[in-house]
Every structure is written in structure tokens, then in C-alpha cells.
Amino acid sequence: MQGMVQVYTGNGKGKTTASFGLALRAVGAGKKVYIAQFVKGMKYSELNSFSQLKNVEIKQYGLKCFINGQPNKDDINAAKAGLLEVAEILKSGEYEVVILDEANIAVYYDLFSAAELIEVIDARDSGVEVVITGRNAAAEIIERADLVTEMKEIKHYYQKGVQARVGIEK
């Protein structure tokens, strides 16, 4: 089966969640899944969930959350090292589904370029399905993708001061 490139982007909630739903479906079909989380370095509940499943590996290539600030050299180095590791994983064909969680954000903050990400994706084993998440997807990534879904925020309880809740948002 030919692997496609999917992009989940937009300002609405649910990009990572949608990709993790696809991961769960893939595991249910006996496929191996690799999840690379760029930018993220904090402990989210999904790390606990995926550690209990066979055929899923999840690794974070972020340090701390800098989204309200600017990345530093260590953030950039962590992301670039992660992209190099993911490039080898994609070439190997060991995993049938590879999720690049928040890779769009990594590009947006210049941790690596859209061109570098596309080069890695295009060098993958032909049977690997790639899912790229994160708001602010670059035009080049959207153009390269086979499927693009935009999550659009209509209303969000964050606007009323509700913080991220364990098991729901984190």
C-alpha cells in the first residue's frame, strides 16, 4: 500500500487528538506506529496511554514549552536531532504510520525548515503513512500533502479562563 502524507492544521482543538485516533486505528489493524513529538517536552497523559500499547513508540524531541516565548539554541538542536532520527525511521520502513506531532510548529518557529521536512518525508519508504500536525502549516507543506484537514475554532472555553485539564487537554 502506498503511504500518503496527511496534514492536520488550523487554530482549532483536535489536531494531535485526531492523529492519535489514527494511531489507535492503525494499531488495531496490526500496524506499527512511531510518534515523534516536536516542541513538546512536558509529560502529557498520552505518554502513559501509548506506553501501554504494543506496536507504538512515542518520543519527544522538545525540551520545555516555549510557545509563549522564543526557542533557544537548545530547542533548535533538539528539533534538528529529532528530524535526523525521524529521517532514518522513515527510510527504514519499520513503522507503517509515522506521526510528526507539532512539526508544523517546529517549522513555524524555524527549528527546521519546511524544505528540510519535505526532504525527509520524500525520502521515506514508499509504504509509510505520514501525519504532520500543528497550527500554521507552511504553504509548501500543504502543497506537498495528499490530505489536509483544517481544525477551525468556533468557540473555546480557554477564552473563559479554563486552563488545560489532565486527561482532556494534557
Q: Which three-class secondary structure string do you get for 6-74?
A: EEEECCCCCHHHHHHHHHHHHHHCCCCEEEEEECCCCCCHHHHHHHCCCCEEEEEECCCCCCCCCCCHH
- pLDDT of 95 strictly over 60: yes
What is the pLDDT, as a whole number, of residue 67?
63
* CATH code where residue 55 lies: 3.40.50.300
In this predicted model, what pLDDT tens digit does every residue of 16-40 receive, in sequence order?
999 999 999 999 999 999 999 998 7
**In this predicted model, which residue has the larger pLDDT, 12 or 63?**
12
Q: Quick check: helix, strand or coil at residue 148? A: strand
Would 10 be classed as within a structural domain? yes
* Number of folded domains that form the chain: 1
Residue 164 lies in a domain: no
Handedness of CA 21, 121, 54, 39 (dihedral sign): negative
pLDDT at position 157? 79
Q: What are the CA-CA distances from residue 108 to residues 65, 124, 126, 137 (Å)?
A: 15, 22, 27, 8
Say what the pLDDT of residue 17 is.
92
The whole domain housing 119 covers: 5-153
- Paired with 133 in beta bridges are 8
Residue 163 lies in a domain: no
- Tell me if 158 is assigned to some domain: no
- The answer to whether residue 170 sits within a structural domain is no
Lowest mean pLDDT among 87-96, 114-123, 135-144, 156-165: 156-165
Residue 45 placed within a domain? yes
Q: What is the pLDDT of residues 40-88, one digit of tens each?
A: 757 777 777 888 889 999 999 987 766 667 888 888 999 999 999 999 9
pTM of this prediction?
0.91
116-150 pLDDT, tens digit each: 999 999 999 999 999 999 999 999 999 999 999 99
Question: In the prediction, which pLDDT does 90 show?
Answer: 98
Tell whether 117 is covered by a domain.
Answer: yes
> Is 167 within the bounds of a domain?
no
Mean pLDDT within 81-110: 97
